[in-house]
A and B are shown apart, each in its own frame.
Chain A
Amino acid sequence: MNAQTEVMENRGNGSVEQSRRAPTTESALRPAVDIYETGEGIVLQADMPGVSKERLSLRVEGNNLLVEGSIGIAPQEQMTALYADVRSTVYRRSFALSNELEADKIDATLKDGLLTVRIPKRAELRARRIEVRS
């Protein structure tokens, strides 16, 4: 009943509509990431324990790279929680890409819950050594 009341409230007001969408993003876990840049491109590593290849989604939407995944723990019979650091089963985080990166040549691997994404730079924009003439 509470849930229904809320939906009604949200529909009545456009600004609340915005805040209604926000919690879905907030309740998702934000995976810890390492990001570094090499001569070839950018490497992103994300901790996503519990996510298998089938449960991982990697999308480029416009200029954003969206990383999503869900934890696949098979619940056993009659299980009740005693303690929980992790209180959601969904990971979500997005990153803005820049123009010099080749979004259609992204390479991703997932091993033991660690996601590694390699985003190459356009060949013509890679760092070149400039010869200095005497």
Chain B
Amino acid sequence: MFSSLGYSESPLFAQFRRLEQEFDELFGAWSPWAAGIRSLPAGTFPAINVASNPDSVVVYVFAPGIDPKSLEVSLQENVLSISGQRDIAAEPNATHYRQERFSGAFRRAINLPEDVDADKVEATYRDGIVQITVQRHESAKPRLIQIH
């Protein structure tokens, strides 16, 4: 619809637009949270995605190849902190060509919506993703208001 504005002629912008189309439906759209005060530059380990619905907030922590027992997840008010350790043992007598994978201690904190209930948190680890589900307070859920 806006192609008449002319920028569609630029292959760069066309590429950006196609990139957006390729993105996953859930996490593809930009959100005001993208520039959150605790957000970190791309490539930070571990990567985090956050999604929510009226009942809960779900945090996905992309932390492959770690022992889930070494992870520490804590929620204070509405700030969720995740810390842990991933040690990559270097093979002796080997020639290393690429070492891109993160090694060492990590810590990340992320703001969750203010209505989360810090007492109702569940975390699971599967295929290298920690999924943390925090319930929202009952009072914050949308209610149907009767009109008399």
Contact = CB atoms under 8 A, between A and B. Distances in A.
Contacts of A87: 23-24, 27-28
A43 B1 CA distance: 50
Given A23-B18, A26-B19, A37-B95, A83 B34 contact: yes
Given A37-B94, A84-B28, 4 more contacts: A20-B18, A43-B94, A49-B63, A114-B128
B33 A83 contact: yes
A28 to B, nearest CB: 8
B128 A49 contact: yes
Interface in B16-63: 17-19, 21-24, 26-29, 31, 33-34, 36, 39-40, 42, 44, 46-54, 56-58, 60, 62-63
A48 B58 contact: no
Given A112-B64, A112-B65, A85 B127 contact: no
Interface in B51-105: 51-54, 56-58, 60, 62-66, 88, 91, 93-102
A72 B97 CA distance: 30
A57 interface: no
A84 B20 CA distance: 14
Interface residues of A, number: 52
Contacts, number: 171
26 contacts: A6-B14, A16-B11, A34-B88, A49-B62, A49-B127, A50-B127, A51-B127, A52-B127, A80-B51, A81-B26, A81-B29, A82-B52, A83-B39, A83-B48, A83-B49, A83-B50, A85-B44, A85-B48, A85-B62, A86-B47, A86-B62, A88-B22, A88-B24, A112-B65, A113-B127, A114-B128
Contacts of A26: 15, 19
A1 B8 CA distance: 13
A76 interface: yes
In the A-B complex, the 3 residue pairs with the smallest Cβ-Cβ separation, listed nearest first, are A113-B128, A113-B64, A114-B65
A53 to B, nearest CB: 9
Nearest to B90: A36
A49 B24 contact: no
Interface residues of B, number: 62
Contacts of B63: 49
Nearest to A79: B51
Given A34-B88, A34-B96, A38-B91, A83 B110 contact: yes
B49 A84 contact: yes
Contact of A23 (B22, B50, B113): B22
